[in-house]
Structures are given as C-alpha cells and as structure tokens.
Amino acid sequence: MLKIVDSAVPVACWSCSVARNASTLFCPNCSKIQPPATGDYFAVFGLQPRLNLDLDALEREFHRLSRRLHPDRFARASDSEKEWSLADTALLNDAYRTLKDPLKRTEYVLKLHGAEIGEEHSGNRQDPSRAPADLLEEVFELNMQLEEMRMARQMGDDDPEAAKSLSEAKRKFEGLLQEVDRDLRAQWTAWEEGGDAQRQTAQKQMVALLDRRRYLRNLVRDVTETLGD
C-alpha cells in the first residue's frame, strides 16, 4: 500500500504540457489542478520526509492548499478537474492528519521504510507472553484486579478499595506512556542523523516502542472502561 514513489519523476501538465513534479497538486506553470498526486504524504506538502518535521511549515502548506482546493474555485471547472479537486482534498486531509500527529507520523515513516507495525504484527495482551517483560508482574496483578472489579460490579457491589488501586495503576501506566513518547522522540534524531547502523538500531527501537505504547494504551483503556470514568 505504501510505496516510496520517486516524486522527482517529471510528468507533463495536462493543460499546458510543461513538465512538472508528479507529486504536486497544481501545475507550477499554469496553476491548473492535476490528476491525483503520486508520492508520499510529505510530497503533497512539498516537504522532505522527516520525523523532526517543521510543523509550522506543514500547517501553512495545509491551509494554503486547502484554500486552493476549495469547491468554489472549481464551480466552473471541467468534470475531471472537479473530481480531482475532491480526490486531492481527501488526500490532503489524510496526509495532514497523519503527519501532524507525532505517533501517526512515526508509524507512517517507518512503514514507508518497510517496518511492520500494527496489531497484526504485535501480540495482544490476552497472551501474557507478549507483555513487555518488565511489566509482566504488574500486568498479571492488574488483570486480577480488573477481574475482581468486574465480578463485584456484576454482583452489584461497590468496591472502593479496588477502585482506588485500579486508579493508581492507571496513573502509573499513563506515566509509562509518557515515557514511551519521550523515548520515541529521542530515537527520531538518532534515526535521522545517525549512520546506517545507528539508523537500523533506532528503527528497531521505535517499532518496539510503538508496540509497547499500543500495549500500554490498551491497558489504560481497559482500566478506564472498568472504572467507568
């Protein structure tokens, strides 16, 4: 699904025939909208694919392109141009949502580089062997507390003690999530500025951190649901 397309490959503008970059939404020569852009999400904004992304530049380009794609501007355009403007708007919104979010951006960039990320590649927490090793004990404990809490609820009982310890566990796991986010950012720079070996190590670390993050987020979600707050 995700492939790095050489966005530097020039194609001819359908309207003025001047060569243009295939990843641009508009012809730089005649300003006409172009058929759906090829290339990655970064290319849509004319940005280099980076984890340490210039978010101000991203936002500026997003607003500039959104204005240029506004339906009012295509009221008298051909059917093809109208169609392209809608397709480009969808692409622009997807690209912006993905790139502005640090986690989604990290996943996206790593996938562009062939990393396997996501639920289908990581364990699920029902399988305790897949729990991060350093959390095994706590996760075991937490699962028992969750089970007790659910059973108490089913019996119509209130268990303030159990609720209190679950809230504490939740805070702890939320703190661990923040740690993961800090660690991820630290790897961005290693990945972008390091040599090949450093880059490979950083990539592996980021994939592991994203798995850990997903695992922790599911735990927090389970506790939140059980606590009902």
Contacts with Zn ion by CB under 5 A lie at 13, 15-16, 27, 29-30
If the CB atoms of residues 15 and 224 are measured against Zn ion, the closer one turns out to be 15
Tokens in use for 135?
A: 């959390």
Q: How near is the Cβ of 14 to Zn ion at its closest, in Å?
A: 8
Q: How near is the Cβ of 18 to Zn ion at its closest, in Å?
A: 5
Q: How near is the Cβ of 61 to Zn ion at its closest, in Å?
A: 20
Cα dihedral 134, 195, 47, 17 sign: negative
If the CB atoms of residues 24 and 187 are measured against Zn ion, the closer one turns out to be 24
Tokens in use for 134?
A: 């350093």
If the CB atoms of residues 85 and 226 are measured against Zn ion, the closer one turns out to be 85
Partners of 33 in the beta sheet? 26
If the CB atoms of residues 39 and 49 are measured against Zn ion, the closer one turns out to be 39
Q: How near is the Cβ of 50 to Zn ion at its closest, in Å?
A: 29
Cα dihedral 94, 98, 104, 105 sign: positive
How far lies 9's CA from each of 36, 48, 49, 66, 121, in Å?
Answer: 15, 16, 17, 25, 33
Q: What b/e string do you get for 79-113 counting C-beta neighbours within 10 Å, with b at 16 or more?
A: eebeebbebbbebbeebbebbeeebebbbbbbeee
Burial of 23 by CB count in 10 Å (0-12 exposed, 13-18 middle, 19+ buried)? buried
Q: How near is the Cβ of 29 to Zn ion at its closest, in Å?
A: 4
If the CB atoms of residues 29 and 80 are measured against Zn ion, the closer one turns out to be 29
